[in-house]
């Protein structure tokens, strides 16, 4: 029964969509409305990715392996790449379209809400961990959770990473007059961030593993695309079929290449003391960069011809970040073990498991959204 998820996801994306006529284009492909809906859909896909890691991943205990969601297991970084692209694109577009964008409380209105939301969800995870019996006093665990140096939410790394990129964008485009130079600074920061990640072995603190840095490259690509959109789109439209066919034909070979590199060189080479560990990780990273960039590029090519839109996507687009952060409480709570170590309320039936995670995450995300909106209004009034 778990396979019903696949056609349901297709329907959720395509119901209400419209294919534009030959010779015409979806001029709203990169609009805020379309991007919000796309990100809402991606958030649901990420939920499926995390659920798949708990029942269909090759590394889990065979006693808890049920299969059926293998498709979602290796594509988490690709899904997050959509977020980072949209973030970079949206920041630059706001810079161009909103007066004094980088002067009128950018840090307060763009960075602080992300950090605050991540911290609130982390506190919820701390409460759940305590209720499930985790010894928060051991090794000063509560202190590390509260300081954020150890993640109470195992999937909360994104709200730690993305504020650094927002801050880099702010500093570069606020204090450097030449936009190409500012873009170069963001690019250098991105490369340095990825090299730092590749230089570190897996650990329990910050920069835990490759998922912290293998999707951030699309942030600077999003900025670059927004800066040059008026030049790029005419070229794409002129050779649209060629670009689309090339993108579609490359996706599977690049996925195979990426998986091959990870299987042979491995991000996890420190576990058998392999030499050149950083070099191995950089090659694995290159494979994932090529694959994720091609998927995102091809998806937006399709978006130039297909305009999506339905109430479900619009609804999810309004609670994307909240849903992304809070669903992990339930995907951990109902899998074989909370964060692979604490006693949970295990639901073996996959379809019931996924349905329950989704059903509980929606109202939880709405509560977080309403709370964040109320707090935002309070902060705005005080400032």
State pLDDT tens for residues 28-58: 889 999 999 999 999 999 999 999 999 999 8
* Backbone φ and ψ of 342, nearest 5°: -100, 150
User: Between 311-318 and 32-55, two packed helices, what is the crossing angle to 10 degrees?
Assistant: 80
Give the pTM: 0.92
> What pLDDT score was predicted for residue 374?
66
What count of Cα atoms within 13 Å lies in the side-chain half-sphere of residue 229? 16
Phi/psi class of residue 306: alpha, beta or left (left: φ > 0; alpha: ψ in -120 to 50)?
A: beta
Query: Torsion over CA of 241, 246, 249 and 250, rounded to 10 degrees?
Result: -150
| Rounded-to-integer distance, Cα 30 and Cα 197, Å | 31
- In 10 A of CB 112, how many CB atoms? 15
Beta-carbon contacts of residue 181 (< 8 Å; ≥ 6 apart): none
Strand partners, 19: 306
Could you identify the residue written with the tokens 């509980």? 360
Alpha carbon distances (Å) from 30 to 17, 22, 89, 193, 283: 15, 19, 9, 27, 31
Using the 8-state DSSP alphabet, how is residue 204 labeled?
A: S
Alpha carbon distances (Å) from 315 to 286, 311, 320, 335: 35, 6, 9, 27
Q: How many domains does the chain have?
A: 1
What count of Cα atoms within 13 Å lies in the side-chain half-sphere of residue 207? 12
State pLDDT tens for residues 317-356: 999 999 999 999 999 999 999 888 888 899 999 999 999 9
- Structure tokens given for 185: 């600074």
79's enclosing H/E stretch is helix 76-97
| Rounded-to-integer distance, Cα 262 and Cα 288, Å | 9
> What pLDDT score was predicted for residue 223?
96
Strand partners, 342: 338
Could you identify the residue written with the tokens 């506190």? 123
- In 10 A of CB 41, how many CB atoms? 21
Whether residue 89 is predicted with pLDDT greater than 60 in this model: the reply is: yes
> What pLDDT score was predicted for residue 382?
54
Largest CA distance in the chain: 65
User: What is the three-class DSSP state of 342?
Assistant: strand
State pLDDT tens for residues 221-260: 999 999 999 999 999 999 999 999 999 999 999 999 999 9
**199-203 mean pLDDT:** 91
- Structure tokens given for 342: 């604490």
The answer to whether residues 15 and 310 touch, using CB atoms and an 8 Å cutoff, is: yes
Of the pLDDT bands very low, low, confident and very high (cuts 50, 70, 90), residue 107 is confident
69's enclosing H/E stretch is none
The residue range of the domain holding 6 is: 2-17+25-382
* Backbone φ and ψ of 251, nearest 5°: -60, -55
| Rounded-to-integer distance, Cα 156 and Cα 260, Å | 28
- Structure tokens given for 12: 């959720």
- In 10 A of CB 226, how many CB atoms? 20
């Amino acid at each position: 029964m778990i396979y019903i998820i696949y056609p349901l996801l297709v329907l959720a994306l395509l119901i209400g969509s419209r294919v534009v006529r030959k010779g015409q284009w979806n001029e709203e492909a990169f609009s805020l409305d379309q991007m919000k809906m796309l990100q809402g859909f991606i958030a649901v896909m990420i939920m499926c990715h995390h659920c798949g890691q708990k029942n269909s991943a090759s590394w889990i205990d065979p006693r808890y392996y049920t299969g059926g969601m293998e498709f979602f297991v290796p594509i988490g970084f690709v899904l997050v790449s959509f977020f980072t692209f949209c973030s970079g694109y949206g920041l630059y577009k706001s810079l161009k379209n909103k007066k004094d964008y980088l002067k009128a409380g950018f840090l307060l209105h763009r960075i602080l809400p992300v950090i605050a939301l991540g911290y609130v969800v982390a506190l919820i995870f701390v409460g759940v961990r305590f209720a499930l019996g985790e010894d928060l006093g051991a090794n000063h665990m509560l202190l590390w959770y509260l300081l954020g140096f150890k993640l109470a939410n195992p999937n909360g790394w994104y709200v730690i990473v993305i504020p650094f990129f927002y801050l880099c964008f702010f500093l570069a485009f606020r204090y450097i007059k030449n936009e190409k130079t500012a873009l170069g600074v963001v690019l250098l920061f991105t490369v340095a961030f990825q090299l730092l990640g590749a230089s570190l072995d897996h650990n329990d603190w910050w920069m835990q593993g490759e998922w912290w840095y293998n999707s951030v490259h699309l942030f600077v690509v999003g900025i670059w695309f927004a800066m040059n959109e008026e030049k790029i789109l005419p070229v794409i439209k002129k050779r649209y079929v060629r670009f689309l066919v090339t993108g579609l034909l490359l996706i599977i070979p690049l996925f195979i290449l990426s998986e091959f590199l990870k299987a042979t060189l491995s991000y996890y080479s420190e576990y058998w003391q392999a030499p050149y560990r950083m070099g191995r990780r950089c090659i694995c990273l290159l494979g994932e960069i090529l694959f994720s960039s091609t998927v995102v590029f091809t998806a937006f090519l399709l978006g130039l011809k297909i305009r999506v839109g339905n109430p479900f996507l619009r609804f999810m687009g309004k609670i994307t970040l909240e849903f992304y952060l809070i669903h992990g409480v339930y995907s951990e709570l109902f899998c074989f073990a909370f964060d692979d170590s604490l006693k949970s309320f295990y639901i073996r039936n996959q379809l019931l498991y996924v349905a329950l995670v989704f059903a509980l995450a929606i109202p939880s995300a709405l509560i977080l959204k309403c709370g964040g909106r109320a707090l935002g209004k309070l902060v705005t009034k005080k400032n």
